[in-house]
Amino acid sequence: MHPRDVIVAGLLLLGGSPAAARGQAVLRFVPELGRLTRTLTEVKTTTTLVGFPAVPDRAAFEEETWIGVTQRVARMAEDGAVVEVTIDSIRGRVRLGGEPWTDHADSTLLGSAQAIISPRFAVVGIRSTGPRDGEILQALGAFAAGLDFTFPEGPVTAGETFATGGRLRARVRTDRATGLAIDEVVFGDLALTLDSAAQAGPDRLAYLHFQGTLTPRTAAVAGEDGDVVTALAGGFAGRLVWSEEWGAFVSGAVRIRVTGRIRAQRPRGEETAEATWDRTVVHRVRP
């Protein structure tokens, strides 16, 4: 079975089957000055290793991270709304196999970034100048839509698939303690399918799903004890719910699976290894 098919099957367990196709939607970001939207994103990753020199074969590393984000419509500009995205909190924990959890979180993303967002939910300008602005602004798209993401110009009919221009981004890593340190990023083009659109009181909700293949990537890193070449491939699938009233993806679930084949050229000869990253991202608004 193709990795992407495995992901789709697993995602059905997370989110159920698609809604019955019905209706039509004009997907737009309708900002309200001063509006605050708070979200919580939970990321769970299991990394399975084979052939790594410092850990047993089939060793499984588990990592869980919770990211709290606030989005605020700060002011209106000529070409859109200035939205401030603040990553308020990051909590995390890790463990090897069934060992006890250890608290661990990468706090480098804590901070704010400001972007101009068009009515089609495109980032048409970045007002802040921080080195991690692009990564912080990924929170706008529930950590699924890339910065080039744009809703269609016209209405979308239920069952229709449309390109967004955005790319799903997945960073995959292994710790140096495994004997082979890997830190790479892979991307996949993001196209969405509208399952249905529904009126919910004053709000208009759009239910969407997506699936795709990550662009294969080969990376070579030269180290003191030899060169390491990593070939990465995989797939992804997910569901998103867009709320016009909130001006945000109010819920979503994404599953990503990446396989890496590693070849290390050491003074003592060539070594080969394999790593598999299985990641689930669950996103929702919070009060």
Q: What are 192-251's pLDDT values in tens digits?
A: 999 999 999 999 999 999 999 999 999 998 866 678 899 999 999 999 999 999 999 999
Question: In the numeric block, which tokens belong to residue 171?
Answer: 């960073």
22 band by pLDDT with thresholds 50, 70 and 90: low
- What is the share, in percent, of the chain residues with pLDDT greater than 90? 77
Q: How many domains does the chain have?
A: 1
What pLDDT is attached to residue 271? 86
What is the overall mean pLDDT for the chain? 90
pLDDT above 60: residue 19: no
CA distances from 5 to 2, 56, 161, 234, 241 (A): 5, 29, 18, 11, 22
- Could you report the per-residue pLDDT of 136-171, keeping only the tens digit for each? 999 999 999 989 999 999 999 999 999 999 999 999
Q: Within the chain, where are the H helices?
A: 3-15, 133-137
User: What is residue 161's predicted lDDT score, i.e. its pLDDT?
Assistant: 98
DSSP 218-263: EEEEEETTEEEEEEEEEEEEEEEEEETTTTEEEEEEEEEEEEEEEE
* Domain CATH number, residue 221: 2.30.230
- Mark out the alpha helices in 2-140 (DSSP H runs): 3-15, 133-137
Q: From the centroid of its chain, how far is CA 251?
A: 13
- Give the C-alpha separation, 227 to 98, whole Å: 32
List b or e across 248-267, with b for residues whose CB sees 16 or more CB atoms inside 10 angstroms: bbbbbbbbbbbbbebebeee
Q: What is the largest CA-CA distance in the chain?
A: 68
DSSP state of 21: P
Residue 18 has pLDDT above 90, yes or no: no
pLDDT surpassing 90 at residue 287: no
pLDDT at 8: 43
pLDDT of residue 6: 42
Task: Kindly state the average pLDDT of the residues 53-62.
Answer: 93
pLDDT band at 1 (very low <50, low <70, confident <90, very high): very low
Q: Give the DSSP H/E element, type plus range, for residue 95.
A: strand 80-96
Find out whether 105 and 91 touch, Cβ atoms under 8 Å: yes
Q: Is there a contact between 258 and 276 (Cβ–Cβ < 8 Å)?
A: yes
Q: How many helices (H) and strands (E) does the chain have?
A: 2, 14
Tell me which residue range forms the domain holding 30: 3-286
pLDDT higher than threshold 90 for residue 21: no
Residue 254 pLDDT greater than 50, yes or no: yes
CB-based burial of residue 136 (10 Å sphere; 0-12 exposed, 13-18 middle, 19+ buried)? buried
Among the listed residues 274, 248, 263, 239, the one whose alpha carbon sits nearest the alpha carbon of residue 69: 248
